[in-house]
Amino acid sequence: MKTTSWEIIVAGFLFVGLSIFLIENSSMRSNSGHSELPTDSLEVSSDEDEIRVFKLQSLENLGNLENLSNLENLENLKNLQNLENLKNLKNILPMEIRAEFEREIDEVIREMDQESLEVNFDAENKTVTIDPNSVTNQQGWTVKSPGVFLFTRSFDSENYSKTNLNLPFGSVDVNGNQEGTGHLFIEASGQISTLNDLRSKLAMESLTEDKTAVFELISKSKTSDDQNIQIQSRLEIPRNMELDIQTKAGHIDSDNIQGAQTYLTNGGHISLSSLSGTISAETGGGHIQIKKSEGRVTLISKGGNIRVQDLKGDIELETGGGSLQIIDHEGAVNATTNGGNIELRSPTLTGPIAAQTGAGTITIWISKDSNVTLDLQGSNVEIDSSLNFQGSNQSGNAMGSIGSGTYKITAKTNYGTISVKALK
């Protein structure tokens, strides 16, 4: 039995109580000679499933609702007779689950003790505003929905030049913006029943080191319990901040970041877009892709594919057993795989190219007006006749030049064909 399911019941009692209050308040005014007033209405505005505003129409005595300010401290909900009466339901439950049922109700009450909610009343504009950002607890975690918990933290980026995020597992989504404030959101779900249960398994530590904001989520479990918890993180920071992201098992996505960046996961995919600066990404067994970016880039996968598209800058690619694909690139290339194919399309050569695979084909596409020197070794070497190659090509070895030979292309495969083709 999940404790969180009873939080729905508790929330139900809260809104039922609010409805009763409004009905009684309306009835009192009707008995006092205000029967011609239109029926009171309640409008709820929401944003991403979070309650933002209660707009009350036709309530002349809105000031009376200030009694609801008791909601500012939710421990008052303990005194709701309806909540305590939930325990009486155990009398109709089987004997073997009664004790567990009562423990779960007590846990809900304890969690409410740790919650706070800011409610603001505006009698002139007839509005009641609830600030969802004010819902906090002592550990920074809140109950987002049954079985789902949310950690939030905001920090002033003017005091920091770099952000570090370290997770024991779980995915990370990074987004750069123009604002001066950083925001971290961590969502936890799975085999977690209560906030106390969550805190017994996970702990968040944050500190400052040399103008670096460091956030580390620590797993307290040394068993396989982690496999039953899912972590999804989102980091929003000014795009010019340096960045260091690490997760031991999970995917990483990053978009619109400038500066020095490091991404590391032991077992997930990495997807990068619209980045600039010195970029390093490594995964223990997933794929890596980067597009629409600029800078010096190093991408390493122990066993996945790597794809580069629309990139300006020197790149170094390495994978233990996947394929490498480089499309529309300008700059130097050093690409190595132990057992996969390599494809490179470079309409404008602006640096040397080195490509090597233990077993696979290497295909290099260049423009007809390219100026390169070729050093190619494979089981077979093919050079497009329209490229006007000058040199020797025999027995899987080709050496020579195209045009003035400004940049050098070196390619080697132990078992496979090397093809140099002309872009149309």
- Do residues 418 and 278 share a domain? yes
Within a domain: 384:
yes
- Do residues 103 and 178 share a domain? no
Domain residues for the domain of 169 are 137-257
What's residue 158's pLDDT?
Answer: 81
- Do residues 57 and 180 share a domain? no
**Residue that is written with structure tokens 């929905």 in the block:** 145
Q: Which of 89, 109, 136 is the last residue of a domain?
A: 136
Within a domain: 285:
yes
- Do residues 331 and 410 share a domain? yes
Within a domain: 262:
no
Bridge partners (DSSP) of residue 209 are none
Q: In the chain, what's the furthest Cα-to-Cα distance? A: 106
What's residue 260's pLDDT?
Answer: 96
**Do the beta carbons of residue 40 and residue 59 sit within 8 Å?**
yes
Q: In Å, how far are 2, 192, 253 from 250, measured between CA atoms? A: 27, 19, 10
- Do residues 315 and 379 share a domain? yes
**Residue that is written with structure tokens 């992201």 in the block:** 245
CB atoms within 10 A of CB 105: 19
State the burial class of residue 211 (Cβ atoms within 10 Å of its Cβ: 0-12, 13-18, 19+). Answer: exposed
- Do residues 204 and 293 share a domain? no
What's residue 377's pLDDT?
Answer: 97
Q: Provide the token pair at 265.
A: 């996961």
- Do residues 291 and 386 share a domain? yes
CA distance 355 to 377: 11
- Do residues 82 and 167 share a domain? no
Within a domain: 167:
yes
Contacts of 5 (CB under 8 A, 6+ apart): 146
Within a domain: 263:
no
Written as tens digits, the pLDDT of the chain (424 aa) is 443 344 444 444 444 444 444 444 544 444 444 434 344 444 444 444 444 444 444 444 445 544 544 444 444 444 444 545 655 665 666 676 667 666 666 655 555 544 444 556 566 665 555 444 443 333 478 998 888 999 999 888 888 999 999 999 999 999 998 778 899 999 999 989 898 899 899 999 988 888 899 999 999 876 544 668 999 999 999 999 999 999 999 999 999 999 999 999 999 999 999 999 999 999 998 999 999 999 999 999 999 999 999 999 999 999 998 999 999 999 999 999 999 999 999 888 899 999 999 999 999 999 999 999 999 999 999 999 999 999 999 989 999 999 999 999 999 999 999 999 999 8
- Do residues 334 and 382 share a domain? yes
Within a domain: 200:
yes
Count up the domains in the chain and report the number: 3
What's residue 181's pLDDT?
Answer: 87
Q: Which of 205, 225, 257 is the last residue of a domain?
A: 257
**One-letter amino acid identity for 328?**
D
Q: Provide the token pair at 119.
A: 């409610």
- Do residues 286 and 222 share a domain? no
**Do the beta carbons of residue 234 and residue 154 sit within 8 Å?**
no
CA distance 229 to 217: 13
CA proximity to 37, closest of 16, 15, 60, 54:
60
Within a domain: 416:
yes
Q: Provide the token pair at 110.
A: 């304890």
Q: Which residues of 349-384 are buried (b: 16+ CB within 10 A; e: fewer)?
A: bebbbbbbbbebbbbbbbbeebebbbebbbeebebb
Q: Which of 76, 107, 136 is the last residue of a domain?
A: 136
- Do residues 167 and 226 share a domain? yes
- Do residues 160 and 301 share a domain? no
Contacts of 368 (CB under 8 A, 6+ apart): 386, 387, 388, 422, 423
Within a domain: 394:
yes
Q: Provide the token pair at 256.
A: 């619109």
> What would the DSSP string read from start to end of 31-64?
HTT-TTSPPPEEEEEEETTEEEEEEEES-TTGGG
